[in-house]
Structure 1
């Protein structure tokens, strides 16, 4: 009886044990593994969620999940004291899904919604196991009679956090997060009601260094913000929501993104592959791209001069332009003008070295008119800048130096160039904007100095510099605006000989001033801009001067040229375009004399200190005729130096005025001074060795040229030395010649030739001593006579000795 009752009981209980539980609540309530989960569901009054819906899915963490502190989910503590209602809702799906219904990449809509009513998704991943989120399902498909499904989890699911936090928590998205924070977009993204972000690891992509530097600068925050907004769509679009084919999505920046889903399911955004889809956030979704997507409009940054300079680390440069009212150059307000800008970096800029009132002009010196690419630059060219305060209405120039580095080729096989503006070398490749090109340089430009500071640097102009100060012309030259200085070299002053000595005398200050200022033209003449042909310009001295630009060079002609090609007087520019703040300097090889300059033969003899010849001419009453004429007939005086006169005894001539007059007349040529091209070097007179000069001027030859003197019937010959220099002698005389040691040209064309000997007529040689060769012949004759007498005496003594010894010739 008892056995029968037991069988009946088994028959009743066994079917009950083999039947499915009625609901999900029954499954988790009857399973001790879910005891803590049930407690949390009851605490947050969520059991009713399973009662009101007949079909649903629960991802049920086991008890151990609540007792474990997960390093990746630090909000969970022992006994789940921090488990929230939202976390539990994230484990519940409104539909029943078995493991067979789940696939890799699938998004499951949970019962959790964000504060902005965004339904939170749970992502499925299949690999070596089945995962939801990052938690593995350890037991699948616990089925209830009402269709509900329970999947057992090892850990608790973590609901997504906001977009901003999701970015900062993912290593691949960290750079985008950092830039979002930099441009103050963090709050907008954090509080968004649903965004889709297309993010790459290298956010700025293939932008060049200058653009990247600008975007990372404080001034580039707005543009960087626009670039980031170009990667944000203002609605949530999960990968499964992208329709097949092409679809455009508007960005916060305004430009559309084109999403393409291929037949094989591959998704691209603006032709860039998505390599990670559906990185979930509480208020949006992130898709991770293979590389950044920049706006298709390459000028989206409107990258002008100002932004380029900021990107070149020239922010101090831009600030100075703004502080001094020159910001229009940086903003390219004048749409008709193009510029080349030379930009020094912050560390190379020290405006404290520039006087405050000169800073605007100094800044504009860095702005070159016209847009010059490297291929447009020519070595030695002078480029017109925007500066020009000391040039009246003209613009200051800057010299560019271009050197080809043949040993180095760039990527396309072109020869690399080294470019230098003034003394500032480029420090990188130039950057082009719409109408300008900017060259980064290693140092700030130095403006040309004033002439009085610039000239002394050229040591071969020391005589001209001394003349500026001696004549008190320096301030006038310094204050003049828009001038060209033709500065004679020391050698050029040497060619003037005695005239230079006279001009440098204190009593000749006014004359020296007129000569110095005659070399200063009241116009700008840059060598590369001067047109070929004749130019006649007013000088600072008043009189005009002739300029002539030819294929053979740049020439300057003042007063005194025998003809248009007289290079003994006409100057040629030997070094051009030395820039100064108020114009330009050209070195020339001849001093030019104004027509108003009055210099007599007496002036030059006095400068030389040739008192003997002066006294002789005045004693013979020739002084008025040959010494002081300024505009009359020219005379050339062959003037022996005082030392030469000291070697001659003139005592007896003082009683013979006629012979004294003859000697004086013998030293005067009644015509303009011959063209002697001479240079005084260290007190030694040499003939100029310029081959072109030799070919052009053949007045004086090696064979000599004969000139009449005031002594009737007596001519003087002046000849050129084979190795240099000149000499003079009386024709048809055996007396030795005198060397020319200095010359000087007078205003009327005459002049003075200083000799190292006195020229004496033949009949006066007994009174004035014999020439050295006659003295030498006399000495030799005396020595020969003595030798003969000695020989005769010796033979006589030998004969006498033989006679005494009885030796007689048989």
Structure 2
């Protein structure tokens, strides 16, 4: 049994051997075997073995392997990756090589394309456009794997990244580099493998976009990394030149869509060396360029962009991103995003932050394609119902045809930029809102006297309204020949307040105003106005003035509540109204205005239907009373007579109490010789101690009686010790009275010589008489404006002797005849 079995095994073995010997493919060979048999691939084989690719390579089928020879690894770079050398799912033999460029790529298996460029004349096949990397050994075919091996001269390195390859080329592509450098390469190019970029050269961008638009696109001033509108525009731009597949070489023609879903028609010429997109040829030298995730084709012509611009994008391109950020912060960014919105924008590279009001003041509600003189409405409207805050544009007077000024101070030298219906102009310094009344006036206009008078009347700050203010302000030499002297004020002619209030209107009237309108002045009078323009002047015919008020065209001074017109010739109104302040001026004591204003909340309401005793200016000086006196309020209260006691003061009935605002203090009035009225503190040794004041004059205004007295009631009089008998004895003796009087007179004369004259000198050292209106406005303290050139009636003093009339001071302004016979 065993013999036949052994014999049968031997016969079968011989049969198998005969079959193997007769098979030409024996022994069976894999790709790895061919690499082992060829010593020129030893380095490549060793890398395969060291990196564990043997089993992987043996498991593959239907592929082409590009195997570098040993010398190709002399300058080996980077980590070895076998997939760089494999063309999957294709067995490409040399008999398939054709002229031109062929691109092999399987997105799911290959990290990037492999580009073959065959030159039939030279009989060479270049790999990935590298002239030094060509196929040296062709068609090494294993008999046990469906594959082929081509020996190449160099290793295949990982292609450069997109920006790196763009920088390496001698072609103008700085714009595209700048765009891609904004961290968009990773966002747009590395999400998936396999992209084709159709990149226009810089000349294409320059033809389609101006400098400002390019500044925006490339984010020249590095402010737009987080700007969503810019990010969308860049995504759209890159999407327009990006195809979501690798397309190149001679094997593709047809229609594709870019990442924006726009359809593109692709063709190739020159055996794939030139790509044509919608009729525009690529640059043959710079087509089919490989980068790490796709191919690049450069173009000298391209029309695929679809980026729209508006004022916001132009502001970014003009390095005004901070200005735009403020618009977003204030919630008004829409005004620079609407291309159909007609407007003019003034910007500067200088800014220190903006309020919403100051932002809107940079915008005009109309478009100025070219600058011109005029007064234009801004978009800062506030609570006004009629019109918005204006700004004035005037041509510079220094013979510079291209220079304009805004509000007489902000210089515009730029020709302007225009986008949509918006115009943008650059200024040398940042545009500011008009300031407050006083700060807005040029000191060279010589308006200091009018400002002083307004300040005395508390008219420098106007209450808010929804219509604005127009002020015809006497400036330059307009007050000359109309000096408001003491006689003028005493006769109540052209009272200061009436004059100034008649020149202030609660409406806006500019030098470009024409026609008829109705307004209201600060006196509350409704007035009819007719404005006419003649040459370079505007004439305002106002029915409360006896002749026209004329101003220069575009002499307007804008301030935060309206407009000021500097008037060169003073025009007085038909009538005036008197205020208690007028009477203070008539009494020569303007200091009382300041005193009352300081305590207006507590004193002014009590003055209605009451009375106030006003000491002369010189007597206040002797008493040491000024705005800084700590007891000023109590002092004033003792001089205010309440409403129900005013009539008693007017009648001067002896023994009748006169109640004051000072708690616990009552006054009483007495007559002497039926001519003079005296006021003293009730219940004190007033009439025997000389603690009395004499009524010189009086006046009435706004329901208040004003009594000018020769000296103030002293607070010290409230604390005089009771000593009735000695005083009564002295006054009962005529001789002692004369002796005492002479002694007091001598003492007073010495005191005047020793104290008053030096004090007066110090007082005079501060100039009160300013010759000419060109003297700049001076301040004497916070919130106080020094009188520039008016004669202050507070300097008028009076000397009164018992039984004598009034002695006129150096001005000769007051005489005994001026004293009223009644109280």
- The answer to whether the superposition gives a TM-score over 0.5 is yes
Q: CA shift at 1:529, angstroms? A: 2.6
User: In the alignment, is the contact (CA less than 8 A) between 1:214 and 1:311 conserved in 2?
Assistant: yes
Q: State the match for 2:114 in structure 1.
A: 121
Q: Is the 8 A contact 1:383 1:399 kept in 2?
A: yes
Write the mapping of 1:396-795 to structure 2, written as runs, cut at 5 A.
396-402=389-395, 417-422=402-407, 423-426=409-412, 428-455=414-441, 457-476=443-462, 482-496=468-482, 500-502=484-486, 505=489, 511-531=495-515, 537-543=519-525, 544=527, 547-551=530-534, 553-556=537-540, 570-574=548-552, 576-597=555-576
Q: 1-side partners of 2:431 and 2:387: how far apart?
A: 19
Per the alignment, residue 247 of structure 2 pairs with: 237
Shift of 1:52: 7.1
CA shift, 1:37, in A, is 4.6
CA contact (8 A) 2:93 2:138 kept: no
Alpha-carbon contact 2:410-2:431 (below 8 Å) kept: yes
Distance in 1 between the 2:40 and 2:577 partners? 126
C-alpha change, 1:360 and 1:510, in structure 2 (3 Å) is farther
- Distance verdict in 2 for CA 1:479–1:591, change over 3 Å: farther
Partner of 1:731 in structure 2? Answer: none
Q: 1:406 to 1:264 in 2, by over 3 A?
A: farther
* 1:232 positional shift: 0.9
Aligned to 2:336: 330
- Residues 507 and 448 of structure 1, relative CA distance in 2, 3 Å threshold: farther
Question: Which residue does the alignment assign to 1:106?
Answer: 101
Gaps of 5+ in 2: 1-26, 588-769, 773-823
Does the CA-based 8 Å contact 2:64-2:86 persist in structure 1? no
CA distance in 2, matches of 1:326, 1:378: 27
1:94 aligns with 2:91: yes
Asked if 2 retains the 8 angstrom alpha-carbon contact of 1:280 and 1:286, the reply is: yes
The Cα shift of 1:208 comes to: 2.8
For each residue in 1:373-392, what CA deviation from the matched residue of structure 2 results, as whole angstroms up to 9, or x when unmatched? 11xx322x111112244866
Deviations 1:521-559 (A, max 9, x none): 33222121322xx66644223444754515364334578
- Describe the SS at the equivalent of 1:241: coil
SS at match of 1:205: helix
Instruction: Find the counterpart in structure 2 of residue 269 from structure 1.
Output: 277
- The SS at the match of 1:371 is coil
Query: Do 2:372 and 2:394's aligned partners in 1 also have CA atoms closer than 8 Å?
Result: yes
Q: Find the aligned partners of 2:98 and 2:573 in 1 and give their Cα distance.
A: 104
Q: How far does the alpha carbon of each residue in 1:325-364 deviate from its partner, in whole angstroms, 9 at most, with x for none?
A: 43342344xx98522122233xx1113xx7xxxx222222
Secondary structure of the corresponding residue to residue 106 of structure 1: strand
Q: In the aligned structure 1, how far is the partner of 2:577 from the partner of 2:771?
A: 28
List per-residue Cα deviations over 1:724-776 (Å, max 9, x = no partner). xxxxxxxxxxxxxxxxxxxxxxxxxxxxxxxxxxxxxxxxxxxxxxxxxxxxx
- 2:784 is matched with which residue? none
Q: 1:213 Cα deviation (Å)? A: 3.3
**CA deviation digits over 1:278-330, x for unaligned, max 9?**
22356533223346x46343xx34x2333332332222222323333433423
Asked whether the equivalents of residues 60 and 91 of structure 1 are also in contact (C-alpha less than 8 Å), the reply is no
Are the equivalent residues in 1 in contact too, given 2:378–2:390 (CA < 8 A)?
A: yes
**Match for residue 712 of structure 1?**
none
1:503/1:190 CA distance change after superposition, 3 Å: farther
Quick check: 2:174–2:202 contact (8 Å CA) kept in 1?
no
CA distance in 2, matches of 1:462, 1:52: 100
Partner of 1:186: 186
1:250-329 superposed matches below 5 A: 250-261=257-268, 266-270=274-278, 271=280, 273-275=282-284, 276-280=286-290, 283-290=293-300, 293=302, 295-297=304-306, 300-301=307-308, 303-329=309-335
Contact 1:480 1:582 in 2 (8 A): no
Which residue, 213, 216, 233 being the options, matches 1:214? 216
Q: CA 1:74–1:104 in structure 2 vs 1: closer, same or farther (change >3 Å)?
A: farther
Change (3 A) 1:258 1:431: farther
Paired residue secondary structure (1:318): helix
Equivalents in 1 of 2:530, 2:186: separation in Å? 72
Structure showing greater radius of gyration is 1
**Alignment check: 8 A CA contact 2:112 2:294 kept:** no
Distance 1:592 1:528 in 2: 21
Q: Is the CA contact 1:196–1:234 (under 8 Å) kept in the aligned structure 2?
A: yes
Deviation at 1:227, TM superposition (A): 1.0
Residues 704-733 of structure 1: CA deviation (Å, up to 9, x unaligned): xxxxxxxxxxxxxxxxxxxxxxxxxxxxxx
In structure 2, the CA distance between the partners of 1:489 and 1:106, relative to structure 1 (3 Å rule), is: closer
Q: CA RMSD in A?
A: 4.8
**Mapped partners of 2:110, 2:150: distance in 1:** 26
User: Partner of 2:126 in structure 1?
Assistant: 132
**Aligned residue in 2 for 1:74:** 77
Residue pair 2:489, 2:495 contacting (<8 A) in 1 also: no
Contact 1:180–1:225, Cα closer than 8 Å, also in 2: no
Distance 2:469 2:299 in 1: 65
Given the superposition, is the C-alpha separation of residues 222 and 405 from structure 1 closer, same or farther in structure 2, using an over 3 Å criterion?
Answer: farther
Aligned twin of 1:384? 377
Superposed CA deviations along residues 209-234 of structure 1, whole A, max 9, x for unmatched, are 33333332221223212211111111
TM-score (norm 2): 0.54
- Distance in 1 between the 2:141 and 2:115 partners? 22
> Do structure 1's residue 342 and structure 2's residue 346 form an aligned pair?
yes
Q: Which runs of 5+ in 1 are unaligned?
A: 1-20, 76-81, 408-415, 563-568, 608-680, 684-810
SS of equivalent residue, structure 2 residue 452: helix
Q: Counterpart of 2:250 in 1: which secondary structure? A: helix
Task: Classify the secondary structure of the residue corresponding to 1:491.
Answer: coil
- Equivalent pairs counted in the alignment come to 533
- Once the two structures are superposed, residues 388-408 of structure 1 have per-residue CA deviations (whole angstroms, 9 ceiling, x without a partner) of 44866322211123469999x
Q: Is the 8 A contact 1:518 1:592 kept in 2?
A: no
2:673 alignment counterpart: none
CA distance 1:428–1:523, change in 2 (3 Å): closer
